[in-house]
Copies of this chain bind each other. A is one copy, B any other.
Amino acid sequence: MKGIVSMKAYTELTKKEREELFSALMNEYKNYCNMGLSLDLSRGKPNSAQLDISLGLMSVDMSRENCFSRGGLDCRNYGVLDGLPEMKELFSDVLGLDPADIIVGGNSSLQLMYGCLTRAMLFGVPGGRGPWSQEEGLKWICVTPGYDRHFRITELLGFELVSVPMTDDGPDMDKVEELVRDPKVKGIWCVPKYSNPTGNTYSDETVRRLAAMECASPDFRIMWDNAYCVHDFDEAGDKLADIFALAEKYGNRDRIYYFSSTSKITFPGGGVALMAMSEANRLATLKILGAETIGFDKLNQLRHLAFFGSADNMLEHMLTLGGVIKEKFDITINNLSSLRGLGIAEWTEPRGGYFISLDVLPGTAGRVHELMKGAGVVLTPPGATHPYGKDPDDKTLRIAPTYPTDGELDTATQILALSVKLAALEKLGV
């Protein structure tokens, strides 16, 4: 991954040196244990200071005259299945999407993804041979490490989850291209920008190959969860290629189901989600979605429109937010630096998003988790980043630095570095 730090050292210590080091570190660890801490590095949640940046959303003037859409529709009432045109335009301006491709949903993009896949199971998708639930032995590509909630949906729906390793440039495309020669392979989960949990962004060539590849399944789908689309720490954020433009070029526009939301722009507990897709996909989706609901919450769309006003304002808002999050990442990376050169850990140093992926000495992730718990720090369970919750190497830990306060985070990540060292020394023999 980008930003990974090269390693050496603990293996070069003698057993006696390891024992002495272990004993000193264990004393340090015990001091933390005695502090009665209760800290949490497991949740990809904004903290209160971040949420306060969007507080204006709650005091938007929603008096009667402001309850109407640009077109004069009373948004308090029924109507508009696919979202207000002005909401589509705002998303389009921010995300570089065709507004005509957009369907605005409720507060959860995950729910939109689940909806797309359950519709595929029950009714099929354009280009396919019917409901996926009628086919046997379907498989789904999971870029690993990846997002547990993605994996869980396809696991529940009965897909066999097939791991493809994440590289600096995104999924290992040689492997992906090989897998999609199997007509049973129906799709792939992607978090293309600041991927969860590795924090890297797919290279232009990776996006191109995803858009261009030959798939044996005629109705293969890329679940393109651009959750961290504008979640740069500063203006030097990663740039993601336009998958719709590339897919168009290769005649594969129907392949893309695109998702995003304002959950980590405004409020996870009351944001606005969207999906974007080709006309054929959209018409098929709206036909079923129109049986599912009369429409999503339009007043919350109006509230978001009034709060942001323009794409520029939203991007400026994200830079403010990015600055706050960067501090958290800096604290974390700074404490992980004590692992530098020890040959027992690698980690990512993203330029945006919500997560850092930490690879510890194989076979020690579970032990690190246990040590952290002993000191009162909750980590995401090891394995969560892998299909079926199982990391065969027991080495990957997802670090979510945003939720604790700066002080808590500093303590928690010092304990993290310490636990990684202790677990490594145990593994090497003390």
Q: Cβ of A122 < 8 Å from any Cβ of B?
A: yes
Residues from chain B with a CB closer than 8 A to the CB of A299 are: 58, 267, 269-270
Cα separation A74 to B291 with both chains bound (whole Å): 33
B157/A122 in contact, CB under 8 A? yes
Residues of A73-119 contacting chain B, CB below 8 A: 74-79, 106-108, 110-111, 114, 118
Cα separation A354 to B114 with both chains bound (whole Å): 33
B294/A297 in contact, CB under 8 A? no
Give the distance to chain B from A157, nearest Cβ to Cβ, in Å.
7
Cα separation A117 to B111 with both chains bound (whole Å): 16
In the complex formed, the residue of B with least CB distance to A158 is: B122
Contact of A64 with B43 at beta-carbon distance under 8 Å, contacts A107-B297, A156-B123 already known: no
B52/A293 in contact, CB under 8 A? no
In the complex formed, the residue of B with least CB distance to A133 is: B133
Cα separation A77 to B43 with both chains bound (whole Å): 11
Cα separation A223 to B226 with both chains bound (whole Å): 36
Residues from chain B with a CB closer than 8 A to the CB of A122 are: 118, 121-122, 133, 157
Q: Cβ of A184 < 8 Å from any Cβ of B?
A: no
Cα separation A108 to B296 with both chains bound (whole Å): 7
In-complex Cβ contact of A77 among B268, B297, B300 (8 A): B268
Cα separation A222 to B108 with both chains bound (whole Å): 28
Residues from chain B with a CB closer than 8 A to the CB of A342 are: none
A58/B62 in contact, CB under 8 A? yes
Q: Cβ of A340 < 8 Å from any Cβ of B?
A: no
B294/A76 in contact, CB under 8 A? no
Q: Cβ of A153 < 8 Å from any Cβ of B?
A: yes
Residue among A62, A76, A114, A153 with the highest chain B CB neighbour number at 10 A: A76
Residues from chain B with a CB closer than 8 A to the CB of A75 are: 269-270
In-complex Cβ contact of A268 among B59, B78, B156 (8 A): B78
Q: Cβ of A45 < 8 Å from any Cβ of B?
A: yes
Residues of A134-188 contacting chain B, CB below 8 A: 149, 152-153, 156-157
Cα separation A295 to B297 with both chains bound (whole Å): 15
In the complex formed, the residue of B with least CB distance to A119 is: B118
B152/A291 in contact, CB under 8 A? yes
Cα separation A133 to B131 with both chains bound (whole Å): 10
B107/A296 in contact, CB under 8 A? yes
Contact of A77 with B64 at beta-carbon distance under 8 Å, contacts A114-B291, A267-B299, A297-B269 already known: no
Pairs across A and B, CB under 8 Å, 24 listed? A52-B64, A55-B63, A58-B63, A75-B269, A75-B270, A76-B267, A78-B269, A106-B106, A106-B107, A108-B293, A108-B296, A110-B294, A118-B118, A121-B133, A122-B122, A123-B156, A149-B294, A152-B291, A153-B292, A268-B295, A269-B297, A269-B298, A270-B298, A297-B297
Contact residues of A with B, CB < 8 Å?
Answer: 43, 45-46, 48, 51-52, 54-55, 58-59, 62-64, 67, 74-79, 106-108, 110-111, 114, 118, 121-123, 131, 133, 149, 152-153, 156-157, 263, 267-270, 288, 291-300
Known: A55-B64, A156-B291. 18 other contacts (CB 8 A): A51-B76, A58-B62, A58-B67, A79-B269, A106-B107, A106-B297, A108-B292, A111-B292, A114-B291, A121-B122, A133-B133, A153-B292, A156-B288, A268-B295, A269-B299, A297-B297, A297-B300, A300-B300
